[in-house]
Chain A
Amino acid sequence: MIKVTNLKKQYKEAVVLDVENLEIPKSECFGLVGNNGAGKTTLFRIMLDLVRATSGQVEIGGTDVSQSEEWKKSTGAYLDEHMLLSYLTPDEYFETLRKIYGLSEADLQAHLDRFTELFNDEIVGKKKYIRDLSKGNLKKVGIAAALMGNPEVVFLDEPFENLDPSSQVRLKKLILREKEASQITFLISSHDLNHVTEICDRIVLLEKGKIIRDLREKAEMMRELEEYFVG
């Protein structure tokens, strides 16, 4: 589904990302971990064509992301608040996305129904602009938006950050359910090793822009990661 080859990002002298080869098959849940500044968000931004790679390329569904825009139809992402329209209410925001994706009102309703539990009655129908929402609720809006329009690939940057414990559990369930039901390929970056090992089939560890571990064995993941992070 996703193929990264010889990807490099350089700011003047400093190489912040250097990924030789990375392939993510369809419906895999791909976890990305690493310390601050390891290049997780940069990698996601390059994969989404938000930042230009110095060299190398990223393919989603067989097309180079910097060459066409076709892949955007089947790709959802929530990296940070810049991806929201903060001056709308959540309802208006979803309505706008509905028109952009060409969904019917029933489609939108069905989509939002899947998030009832996660939203916990704090998002839909509230007369509040997105810019005035709490960070946790902001994240929930972004995640729901990323999953709209039946995407095949979904990028989430730190989805568990700022969520309360029960929302974290609900989000985990939701991701697993979506993965089963719609064969979505998830790319998730996180600092929460417990969550990410629980939901992901594969975890890649970044250090200073380089992939230094590629873990696929569920049983081994936690031990290896703890070894790296705790020392």
Chain B
Amino acid sequence: MFFQLIRLQLLKSFRSTSRAKSILTNIFLGFIILLLLSYVVIAGIFLQEIIKTLSGEVDPLGILNGYLVFFFLTEFTYRYFLQSLPVVDLESLLHLPIGKRRIIHVLLLRSFISPINLIALLLFTPFAFQVIRAEFGAIAMWSWVGAIILSSWILHWFMLWFKQRFEDSTIGLLVVIAVLVLGAGSNYLGWFNLGEIMKPVFDYAIQSPVPLLGLIGLFGFSYWLCFHYHVQNAYLEDLAGEQEEVRSSGQSIGFFARFGLAGEMANLEWKLIIRHKKSRTYLMLSAFFLLYGLIFYTNPAYTSEEGISTIFIFVGVFITGIFMIQYGQLFLSWNSSSFDFFLNRKDGVEALIRGKYLLFISISVVCFLASVPYVYFGIDILLIHMATFLFNVGVLIHFIIYLAIWKPKPMDLNKGAMFNYEGVGAAQWLMVIPMMVLPYVIYLPFSLLISDYAGLIALSVVGLIGILAYKPLSKINVERVYKNQYEISSSFRQEL
């Protein structure tokens, strides 16, 4: 039975990939994971040298032990964002005559198989080989490495429990913020040095097996805590989360009403965005990306003496167009669960697409207006934003939509957005090219031959031409959807 369940899990992950994700996405993700893990190994091998260079001291082990606690705080943070809960699979198993405890054991075990759990092992084992083994012997080395790995794995179980217990609650968020402040702030502000307080634990692990044994106990306890909580709450209503309360009215944006049917669709889309988890995250991200400029505009490496740094064009495209880039790349997938609704109305699909155009342009305007304060870093920044905004709205929007409607895939809007690649296919990866290259194709020739400002003018002019040609350009995309409507709607009707 146990193996049967594991087999089911394997089948599920194999078969879901062929449907929801494309092979290309999988290969790409696998490649990225391998790449990142190999970076970790390389960092592990050179850890000794790195610490010596950074601190200038001769005792890398002492320094490392003092900072280990910060590694775990970082780990806590990324686990909070990346680690997903295994309980989504529970629904289809719960009614079967299999013990709940057994199901939970399998699900927890599966969650444990993750590259995240390798990071501590890969990062610290080479260091332990080089430094501790030479000085204190093999037993001390394994004791130390074991202590670190167990701490990391305890965090794994603890985080599963923590997220399931406090997900979407204020307490959970407060704890995470507290951990971050504690980690970064305490040292920086000089209240107390967390690293120094925790240092003896790891120092002691080299000399004696006591910390290791203690951590083994804690590891068992954290698994038990996680397991116990999941068994107690293995009910559908606990897992699915409470039904969302309908928020008060007034969510429609009156301004859109002026645009007839397309405006109505823009309003619908807006409701779709704020009522689904995935789209809400995208919206929040675009608000967050408004701050993106602070990284670049304040960085002296990018501010050149004369003219405009080339990379700023990219930053400008991103700041004023992030929503259309992020949300627009999954253009029709957002409506995959109700696409037949639009097909079944006269001019429904055209209105839907025009509505989306309207929404993208409106949000771009809002982003541009919100980015005006960047003028603090110089009038050039404002000019860049103006030019890239015009270019986004006039040209880039059509390219993004054109690529996005190439074989759109269905997706479930109620899942989170972090590391959720549902609906992402080859087109979404290819989309990076016009996004990155297109603005420079127009900007660079003028900028290099005449001046940076000529480049900006060229961008603006091309954008303005695009805006004037909005009707025919958007018509191309509308026609394309109509041409492929049968393929699109039948792929959307598939189960996820």
Q: Which A residues fall within an 8 A CB radius of B?
A: 48-52, 69-70, 72-73, 75, 77, 79-89, 92, 96, 99-100, 127-129, 132
Please tell me if the beta carbons of A83 and B341 are within 8 angstroms of each other in the complex. Answer: yes
B133 at the interface (CB under 8 A from A): no
B493 at the interface (CB under 8 A from A): yes
Residue of B nearest to A71 (CB): B346
Q: List 21 A-B contacts (CB under 8 A).
A: A48-B344, A51-B490, A69-B346, A72-B345, A72-B346, A73-B346, A75-B344, A81-B337, A82-B493, A83-B344, A85-B341, A86-B338, A87-B271, A88-B271, A100-B261, A100-B348, A127-B246, A128-B243, A128-B246, A129-B243, A129-B244
Task: Tell me which of A83, A99, A129 contacts B338 (CB under 8 A).
Answer: A83
For B344, the chain A residues whose CB sits under 8 A away are 48, 50, 72, 75, 77, 83
Please tell me if the beta carbons of A82 and B341 are within 8 angstroms of each other in the complex. Answer: yes
Interface residues of B in 478-496 (CB under 8 A from A): 486, 489-490, 492-493
For B339, the chain A residues whose CB sits under 8 A away are 82
Interface residues of B in 150-184 (CB under 8 A from A): none
Interface residues of B in 322-360 (CB under 8 A from A): 337-341, 343-348
Interface residues of B in 253-302 (CB under 8 A from A): 261, 264, 268, 271-272, 275-276
In the complex the two chains form, what is the Cα distance from A127 to B248 in whole Å? 9
In the complex the two chains form, what is the Cα distance from A132 to B245 in whole Å? 11
Task: Tell me which of A50, A70, A89, A96 contacts B340 (CB under 8 A).
Answer: A50
Residue of B nearest to A75 (CB): B344
Residue from B243, B346, B492 having most chain A Cβ neighbours under 10 A: B346
In the complex the two chains form, what is the Cα distance from A198 to B271 in whole Å? 42
Closest 3 CB pairs between A and B?
A: A72-B346, A52-B486, A82-B340
Known: A51-B490, A72-B345, A100-B345. A85 touches B338 (CB 8 A): yes
For A88, the chain B residues whose CB sits under 8 A away are 268, 271
In the complex the two chains form, what is the Cα distance from A89 to B247 in whole Å? 10
Task: Tell me which of B245, B264, B489 contacts A127 (CB under 8 A).
Answer: B245
In the complex the two chains form, what is the Cα distance from A69 to B275 in whole Å? 31
In the complex the two chains form, what is the Cα distance from A61 to B407 in whole Å? 33
For A100, the chain B residues whose CB sits under 8 A away are 261, 264, 345, 348
For B244, the chain A residues whose CB sits under 8 A away are 129, 132
Residue of B nearest to A80 (CB): B340
Least CB distance from A73 to B in Å reads: 5
For A82, the chain B residues whose CB sits under 8 A away are 337-341, 492-493
For A127, the chain B residues whose CB sits under 8 A away are 245-246
For A72, the chain B residues whose CB sits under 8 A away are 344-346, 348
In the complex the two chains form, what is the Cα distance from A79 to B489 in whole Å? 14
Please tell me if the beta carbons of B268 and A85 are within 8 angstroms of each other in the complex. Answer: yes
New A-B contacts (4) at CB < 8 Å, excluding given A82-B492, A100-B345, A127-B245: A72-B346, A81-B337, A87-B276, A89-B246
In the complex the two chains form, what is the Cα distance from A86 to B276 in whole Å? 11
For B338, the chain A residues whose CB sits under 8 A away are 82-86
Task: Tell me which of B275, B340, B490, B492 contacts A79 (CB under 8 A).
Answer: B340
In the complex the two chains form, what is the Cα distance from A157 to B160 in whole Å? 44
Please tell me if the beta carbons of A50 and B246 are within 8 angstroms of each other in the complex. Answer: no
For B268, the chain A residues whose CB sits under 8 A away are 85, 88, 96
In the complex the two chains form, what is the Cα distance from A121 to B306 in whole Å? 71
In the complex the two chains form, what is the Cα distance from A72 to B340 in whole Å? 12
Please tell me if the beta carbons of B275 and A87 are within 8 angstroms of each other in the complex. Answer: yes
Please tell me if the beta carbons of A70 and B346 are within 8 angstroms of each other in the complex. Answer: yes
In the complex the two chains form, what is the Cα distance from A129 to B244 in whole Å? 8
In the complex the two chains form, what is the Cα distance from A69 to B339 in whole Å? 16
Least CB distance from A40 to B in Å reads: 15
In the complex the two chains form, what is the Cα distance from A124 to B384 in whole Å? 51
Please tell me if the beta carbons of B276 and A50 are within 8 angstroms of each other in the complex. Answer: no
In the complex the two chains form, what is the Cα distance from A83 to B342 in whole Å? 8
Please tell me if the beta carbons of B340 and A51 are within 8 angstroms of each other in the complex. Answer: no
For B340, the chain A residues whose CB sits under 8 A away are 50, 79-80, 82-83
Residue of A nearest to B490 (CB): A51
